[in-house]
Structure 1
Amino acid sequence: MKIFDIKDLRKLFTLIIALLLSYILLGQAILAMITNDYKSGLIKHDYEVAGYLYRDNGNMSHIKEAFTQKKSVEDYRSGEILLKGVGYDASTNNNLIPNLKAFNNKYAVLVFCLSFSMGITLLFILFIFAVKFNKTLEKASSDILSFMNGNHEIRLDDNKEGSLSKLFSAINMMATSQATHITKEKQNKEFLKDTISDISHQLKTPLAALEMYNEIILDENVNNDVVSSFNLKINSELKRMENLIQNLLKLAKLDAGAIELNKQKSNLKDFLESIIMRFQTRAQHEGKSIILNCDNNLVFIYDKEWLLEAISNIIKNALDHTESGNEICISCDNTPVAIRIIIKDNGFGIHAEDLHYIFKRFYRSRFSKNTRGVGIGLTLSKSIVEKHGGTIMVESELGSGTVFRLIFSKLTTL
């Protein structure tokens, strides 16, 4: 049986078997002692009866025959009738028979002590084994938690025999594989971080040159409406390209884990007002309004630069999907467990088919009227919010507007 592959279990069963054999031998010794004692008591009783009969009638030969000769059924019947007449039978209370009472009292305590000591010894052995086994499991559990908390060098003790050591060996193999994978992932992230940095520097140079050349052309008074129109379009597309590249780089850095947030406690209302100011000109030009409703004293620990990016993308998305006369409402909600930022508009809304995909990068809805977006703004917002330990949810109904809820647990932000 595989259970006996465990060395400690083999020891336990061997010890129990040895203990049982010892108690069996002890029991046989006690039984022999009881038998001899019973024999002595029986002979003593017969001596007493013989003496009593001899004293009464003096016929010694007849008395000897009574104890040494084989008895007939008639003898048994006669004796039974005689003694039952005085209440001496199998139903007689043991306490009324002095020899039997003394015999029971003598050995009842002995048998009880033997049984009790055997039970206590077995329980003690099982307790010692359970304590030792529990210590092994607790140490294994502690080592596994230590590994999960970053100590990737730790391993379980798998140098013993048995199924438990086989399990520990399998866990160690898994831990080694996981540690190798973690190391490789770290190397990949470092490589991606360096690559992103190189790409960023490489792209900035040609983009800056193209913008400079386009500005030079724009400054030239060529008196050609077609050229001027194309120059303006080129300038717009260059800015769009620069914005796209910057967003892609930011998203790549977040994916690579190359971003360390610089969180600071700051007034949330002042922060949101500064974001709204960035969109005020566009909103007024398009006939839309942005309304803020937030407690003046609400403070929050966050990275201003990155959270600005996240909220700005959501506000920009709201402006892209509303029309003149619509409004965008931004509110703050402070609960005992979380701080919520709610961005709500009464614009076009999101089709039910698209709700599950709006945070997917490069996703473009077939119902969208925005032909200039590339579908990474909301993806970037989601990554930034989650980097802050928060969650982002969206509710929308086609034709009735959209609500984005940014929820930041106080357990992770305070």
Structure 2
Amino acid sequence: MRRYFINPELRRSTTILLILNVFFMTAVLLNLKMYHYNLKQDYVLTFGAVTERIYRNNPEIAREIIPVITAGADEEEAQKGKHILEQYGLSEKLENELFPYINKSALRENLNIILIFISMLIIFFLLNYIQYGYFYERIRRLNFGAKKIVEGDYDISIGEDREGDFSKLSVSFNSMREIIRNNLNELKKEKQFLVELLSDISHQLKTPLSSMIVYNDILLNKQLSKEQSRNFLISSRNQLYRMNWLIKSILKLARLDARAIEFHMKGQSLNETIKYSIEALEEKIVSAGVQVKFHEEGEIVFYHDRHWLCEALINIVKNCVEHTQRGGKVDVCVMENPIYKRITISDNGEGIGEKDLPNIFKRFYKARTSKSSDSIGIGLALSKSILEAHDGIINVQSKLGAGTTFRITFLKY
């Protein structure tokens, strides 16, 4: 029961009911007291009239009657007197109307009781109306808020500044509203993401598909030498490889953005992960004629998924290698302090323009100054998504003709 009395409405209505009960009990007691007073008054008037008649005829007998009225008669005398009255037709069975004094008191008493109960009914009706009106008004507010949410208006708020179950219900309602709003926003984002993804795939596949159609038309409709045919087939194969890599990268990025990838995190050497990333690019580094050096300051253990973090680092190092001239260099450094762990990847390549810098992590963005014809602008976007999944922060500084520096920071707290 105690948990119900946490509600101020129940406490208030209980208090009012107790006050009303006390009030009506007092009214009933006062009415009874008044009834007894009136009955006594009628009693005195009745016996006064009888005594006056007796006194008029025999004063001595009148003196004997007074003690009977005040002290009461014994049982034998009372029964004898009752039989005498019955001989004149007076008994308890006689209607009240034949007892004028008693009838008058009874009518007053009945009228007072009726008035008390009518007053009780009116007050209880008003109390019931006010109390339930208050409840239903709050329910209507909740219903109105629910309709607004269904209509898409999420700015509605049900405010309650009191304790109790209605306040808890209001808090739950507001929480539900926020959850629905957030879920719908997420659905809108996912829908927009799907539209953009399909648009990106369509746009990126259009060029290699067009090239392959042209190559096949040439192979089918033109007389070519064996060497020319071989060159066209090699070009078609390269376009297929490019499409395969593109589709895989887009799907990886889509899974990352949709949080559909389960990372296998464990504490392991960050130094080893960086070395694996550089080794995976060894062939490309050699063919590009670029020198890649790894600088480390002791062993650093970091809680991460090696496979996916390697993927992110490979894309960044690969980007640096592709945009650095032959004979250039790429430096990879890792360090740790009490606040964070940081990986720095810098090159002395062509650099990135100031206008392009804010956009390099966008999907399929290609800098105006980029000299790489194979670049499609998905690697850095993929790296950023992977690093953010590891609670990492990536930023870049660059200057045209001077090189680019990527800083990846993992905060400890």
Provide the TM-score with structure 1 as the length reference: 0.51
1:94–1:100 contact (8 Å) kept in structure 2? yes
Give secondary structure in 2 for the equivalent of 1:153. Answer: coil
1:61 to partner: Cα distance: 3.0
Question: Greater Rg, structure 1 or structure 2?
Answer: 2
Aligned residues: 233
After superposition, residues 201-220 of structure 1 pair within 5 angstroms as 201-220=203-222
Report the counterpart of residue 27 of structure 1 in structure 2: 28
Secondary structure of the corresponding residue to residue 52 of structure 1: helix
Q: Distance in 2 between matches of 1:69 and 1:104?
A: 25
Aligned to 2:56: 55
Pairing 1:157–2:141 present:
no
Q: Deviations over 1:31-85 (max 9, x none)?
A: 2122112111111212111112222333233233433455233212211211111
Deviations 1:176-218 (A, max 9, x none): 2222222222222222222221111111111111111111111
Contact 2:39 2:102 in 1 (8 A): no
- Could you tell me whether the CA contact under 8 Å between 2:31 and 2:109 is conserved in 1? no
Distance apart, 1:9 and its partner CA: 2.5
Task: Note if 1:13 corresponds to 2:14.
Answer: yes
Q: 1:191 aligns with which of 175, 178, 193?
A: 193
**Matches of residues 249-398 of structure 1 in structure 2 within 5 Å?**
none
Residue 158 of structure 1, CA deviation: 3.1
Percent identical: 26
Q: CA deviation at 1:146?
A: 0.5
Change (3 A) 1:209 1:88: same
1:120 aligns with 2:161: no
Q: Which residue of 2 aligns with 1:37?
A: 38
Distance 1:18 1:83, change over 3 A: same
CA apart distance, 1:222: 7.0
Counterpart Cα distance in 2 of 1:100 and 1:67: 17
Q: Please name the residue that 2:113 is paired with.
A: 111
Q: Is the 8 A contact 1:143 1:156 kept in 2?
A: yes
Aligned to 1:140: 142
Deviation at 1:167, TM superposition (A): 1.4
Assess if the C-alpha contact under 8 Å between 1:146 and 1:154 holds in 2.
yes
User: In the alignment, what sits opposite 2:131?
Assistant: 129
Partner of residue 289, structure 1: none
Please give the alpha-carbon distance, in whole angstroms, between the structure 2 residues aligned to 1:158 and 1:65: 73
Compute the displacement of 1:4 (Å): 2.2
Report the Cα distance in structure 1 between the residues aligned to 2:71 and 2:224, rounded to whole angstroms.
153
Q: Distance between the aligned counterparts of 2:138 and 2:215, measured in 1?
A: 73
Structure 1 unaligned segments of length 5 or more: list them. 246-251, 257-414
Write the distance in 2 (CA, Å) between the matches of 1:205 and 1:77: 128
Does the Cα contact within 8 Å between 2:97 and 2:103 map onto a contact in 1? Answer: yes
What is the rounded CA distance, in whole Å, between the counterparts of 2:26 and 2:165 in structure 1?
Answer: 34
CA distance in structure 1 between the partners assigned to 2:68 and 2:55 by the alignment:
11
Distance 1:211 1:125 in 2: 85
SS at match of 2:105: helix
Which residue matches 1:200?
Answer: 202
Unaligned runs of 5+ in 2: 248-253, 259-413
TM-score using structure 2 length: 0.52
Shift of 1:219: 0.9
CA distance in 2, matches of 1:65, 1:7: 61
CA, structure 1 residues 82+21, in 2 after alignment: closer, same or farther (shift >3 Å)?
A: same
The range that moved more, 112-121 or 71-80, is 71-80
Q: Distance in 2 between matches of 1:64 and 1:151?
A: 89
Is the Cα contact below 8 Å between 2:161 and 2:167 reproduced in 1?
yes
1:337-375 C-alpha deviation (Å, 9 max, x unpaired): xxxxxxxxxxxxxxxxxxxxxxxxxxxxxxxxxxxxxxx
Shift in CA distance, 26/72, structure 1 to aligned 2, threshold 3 Å: closer
Shift of 1:137: 0.8
CA distance in 1, matches of 2:206, 2:225: 31
Measure the CA separation in 2 of the matches of 1:143 and 1:70.
75
Change (3 A) 1:7 1:64: closer
Which residue is equivalent to 2:96?
94
2:75 match: 73
Query: Following the alignment from structure 2 to structure 1, what is the Cα–Cα distance between the partners of residues 116 and 109?
Result: 10
Q: Structure 2 vs 1, CA of residues 69 and 164 (structure 1 numbering), >3 Å: closer, same or farther?
A: closer
Following the alignment from structure 1 to structure 2, what is the Cα–Cα distance between the partners of residues 187 and 26?
A: 70
**What's the CA shift for 1:10?**
1.9
Quote the Cα distance in structure 1 between the aligned partners of 2:43 and 2:23: 30
Sort the Cα spacing of 1:14 and 1:70 in 2 relative to 1 into closer, same or farther, 3 A. Answer: closer
SS of 1:156's equivalent in the other structure is: coil
Aligned 8 A contact 1:54 1:63 in 2: no
Q: Distance in 2 between matches of 1:47 and 1:68?
A: 12
Which letter maps to 2:7?
Answer: I
Find runs of 4+ consecutive structure 1 residues off by over 3 angstroms.
221-224
Contact 1:53/1:63, CA 8 A, preserved across alignment: no
Higher mean C-alpha displacement, 198-207 vs 150-159: 150-159
